[in-house]
Amino acid sequence: MERYNIITEKFPREIVLLKSRPCAYGKCTFCDYIGDNSTNIAEMNQLNKEVLSNVKGLYDTFEVINSGNIFDLPKETLEMIKLKLSEHEFKKLFAEAHWIFRDHLDKMRQRLDIDIMFKTGVESFDYDFREKVLKKGAPFQSVEELKKYFDSPCIMVGIKGQTKDMIRRDIDIVLNQFNHATVNVYCENTTIIKPDGQLKEWFYDEYKWLDDVKHLEVLWNKTDFGVGD
Ligand code: SF4
């Protein structure tokens, strides 16, 4: 599995995929990330150390992802990240956290002593689809409420049960109300939540131009950031 890559286009940065404990939330119905989690702290730290040794400080921004939240990383790994951030004088870190961590984001900024752009998996701004179908556990009621905490939503498109209208609204929100967002085209996995092939084709035909929008990163395939499998 690739765990280090350099993103050269929008928001140039080095990115690492680290190994963590299972997600502290762990209830999203579409998620099967558990395969990349561990409870063996020593093994995680060893692997994470090797992955982090690739980091060169090529740009001002660095991104850490793991199959969960940055809060699920072992504390020794967080220390390693902090050292890398200072060694290479990074100015900004991109990291991800679930809604349950919304009151702890500043603590992580202080702990790592860096400006963090927090991404969060919103998946859909349609409340019922997000909470009743995807069981996201992020029951915010408005875009403003989400923005009080998080900088960058990640949304998913092309899921069975999702409608074109939901997608149009989601794209409109991420285009016009955020400075950064990620759009993930949903891929088949081991869960009961299935992709909708026709909806994905429609999305591709209708929204390929999003590739040219500077503040949106569209992952047409889940490995488009060059990490994972
Ligand atoms: S918050 Fe992310 S890692 Fe956790 S269960 Fe949901 S999708 Fe999976």
At 137, which CATH number? 3.20.20.70
Which residue has 């029951």 as its token pair? 139
> Per the domain annotation, does 228 fall within a domain?
no
Identify the pLDDT of residue 33. 83
For residue 200, give every residue at least 6 positions away whose Cβ sits within 8 Å of its Cβ, in sequence order, or none: 157, 158, 185, 186
Minimal CA–CA distance to 95: which of 57, 64, 128?
A: 64
Q: Which domain holds residue 24?
A: 4-219
Instruction: Give dist(CA 204, CA 183) in Å, integer.
Output: 12
Q: Which atom of ligand 1 is nearest to the CA of 26?
A: 5
Q: Is the model more confident about 146 or about 227?
A: 146
- Which H or E run includes 167? helix 164-177
> Per the domain annotation, does 224 fall within a domain?
no
Question: Over the stretch 5-49, which tens digit does the pLDDT of each residue have?
Answer: 999 999 999 999 999 999 999 999 999 988 899 999 999 999 999
Closest protein CA for atom 1 of ligand 1:
98
Identify the pLDDT of residue 228. 85
> Per the domain annotation, does 11 fall within a domain?
yes
| Lining residues, ligand 1, CB within 6 Å | 23, 25-28, 31, 33, 67-68, 98, 121
Instruction: Give dist(CA 156, CA 29) in Å, integer.
Output: 13
Other Cβ atoms less than 10 A from the Cβ of 196: the count is 17
Other Cβ atoms less than 10 A from the Cβ of 97: the count is 24
Other Cβ atoms less than 10 A from the Cβ of 192: the count is 8
Question: Over the stretch 161-218, which tens digit does the pLDDT of each residue have?
Answer: 999 999 999 999 999 999 999 999 999 999 999 999 999 999 999 999 999 999 999 9
Instruction: Give dist(CA 98, CA 26) in Å, integer.
Output: 10
Counting ligand 1 atoms within 8 A of each CB, the residue from 19, 27, 29, 33 with the most, and so the one to mutate, is 33
Tell me the pLDDT band of 226, cut-offs 50, 70 and 90.
confident
Q: Tell me the backbone φ, ψ of residue 140, rounded to 5 degrees.
A: -70, 150
The answer to whether residue 229 scores a pLDDT higher than 80 is no
> Per the domain annotation, does 156 fall within a domain?
yes
The answer to whether residue 89 scores a pLDDT higher than 90 is yes
Q: How far is CA 191 from CA 15, 31, 33, 184, in A?
A: 27, 7, 10, 17
Identify the pLDDT of residue 203. 98
Closest protein CA for atom 3 of ligand 1:
68
Minimal CA–CA distance to 132: which of 33, 32, 28?
A: 28
Q: Which atom of ligand 1 is nearest to the CA of 31?
A: 8
The mean predicted confidence, pLDDT, of the chain is: 97
> Per the domain annotation, does 188 fall within a domain?
yes
> Per the domain annotation, does 95 fall within a domain?
yes
Distance 24 CA to ligand 1 centre (A): 8
Tell me the pLDDT band of 128, cut-offs 50, 70 and 90.
very high
For residue 177, give every residue at least 6 positions away whose Cβ sits within 8 Å of its Cβ, in sequence order, or none: 143, 147
Instruction: Give dist(CA 64, CA 69) in Å, integer.
Output: 10
Closest protein CA for atom 7 of ligand 1:
31
> Per the domain annotation, does 226 fall within a domain?
no
Torsion of CA 92, 98, 104, 107, to 10 degrees: -30
Q: What percent of the chain has pLDDT over 90?
A: 94
| Total domains present in the chain | 1
Q: What is the mean pLDDT of residues 84-112?
A: 98
> Per the domain annotation, does 225 fall within a domain?
no
Q: Which atom of ligand 1 is nearest to the CA of 69?
A: 3
Distance 83 CA to ligand 1 centre (A): 27
Identify the pLDDT of residue 225. 87
